[in-house]
């Protein structure tokens, strides 16, 4: 993480977890600073990952976890499997980096509102029926936040590598750019 997360108010576990999640979201948002949709869709390595694809993936991931936790997740179509889900890592149709950023911001606000409204982070919800989860297991809202932090952080690291591969911009340089500050020795 290249930005400081302020310490939480004593006993504010929710605030601390949400702050760390938002800091990781920021890493992905910053990796997209100043790029066109075309540049953000570039895949500069042997991987199929692009910055716009990562953006869409983290938005969909947070959205799907929020839907599971709130009990609003849509049922899969008859016979649909996880392997059938296309375009989870690429923008299609009218989707743009700007529209995905706006959609992710809306999901983030819903996540924060849900977490702040929850009676306790010990409240649980069922994990989905998927081959990588144990059947019938329930997890807490605390687990949900930690899962979102780790998932987003993992992809923020990918985003750093992809962005540096595209134009040489590194995370600290992008933090300076976001703040409107000059990138120089004081950052190094």
**Helices and strands in the chain, H and E counts:** 6, 2
Question: CA 185 to CA 188: how far, in whole Å?
Answer: 5
List the end-to-end C-alpha distance of the chain, in Å, as a whole number. 15
Residue 42 structure tokens: 């570039």
- For residue 85, the model assigns a pLDDT of 58
pLDDT(128) > 50: yes
pLDDT score for 79: 56
In this structure, the strands spanning 124-126 and 138-140 are antiparallel
Distance of CA 114 to the CA centre of its chain: 17
Question: Residue 98 corresponds to which tokens in the numbers above?
Answer: 């700007």
Alpha helices in 42-188 (DSSP H): 51-70, 97-117, 141-167, 171-179
Cβ 23 vs Cβ 5: under 8 Å:
yes
Task: Give the Cα separation of 5 and 26 in Å (integer).
Answer: 11
Length of the chain as a residue count: 188
Arithmetic mean of pLDDT over the chain: 90
Q: CA angle, 38 as apex, 33 and 43 as ends, to 5°?
A: 90
* pLDDT confidence tier of residue 188, bands split at 50, 70 and 90: low
pLDDT tens digits for range 135-179:
999 999 999 999 999 999 999 999 999 999 999 999 999 998 998
Here the tokens at position 40 are: 């953000």
Q: Which residue has the higher pLDDT, 8 or 106?
A: 106
Per the structure block, which two tokens stand in for 129? Answer: 């029926």
Distance CA 3, CA 92 (A): 32
Return the pLDDT at 3: 75
């Amino acid at each position: 993480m290249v930005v400081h997360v302020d310490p939480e108010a004593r006993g504010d576990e929710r605030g601390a977890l949400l702050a760390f999640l938002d800091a990781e979201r920021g890493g992905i948002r910053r990796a997209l600073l100043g790029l066109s949709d075309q540049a953000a869709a570039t895949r500069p390595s042997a991987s199929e990952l692009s910055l716009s694809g990562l953006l869409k993936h983290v938005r969909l991931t947070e959205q799907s976890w929020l839907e599971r936790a709130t009990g609003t997740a849509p049922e899969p179509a008859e016979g649909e499997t996880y392997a059938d889900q296309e375009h989870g890592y690429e923008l299609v149709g009218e989707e743009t980096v700007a529209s995905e950023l706006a959609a992710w911001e809306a999901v983030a606000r819903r996540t924060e509102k849900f977490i702040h409204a929850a009676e306790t982070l010990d409240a649980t919800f069922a994990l989905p029926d998927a081959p990588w989860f144990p059947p019938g297991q329930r997890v807490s809202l605390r687990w949900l936040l930690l899962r979102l932090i780790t998932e987003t952080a993992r992809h923020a690291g990918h985003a750093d590598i992809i962005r540096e591969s595209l134009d040489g911009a590194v995370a600290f340089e992008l933090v300076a750019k976001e703040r409107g500050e000059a990138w120089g020795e004081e950052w190094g």
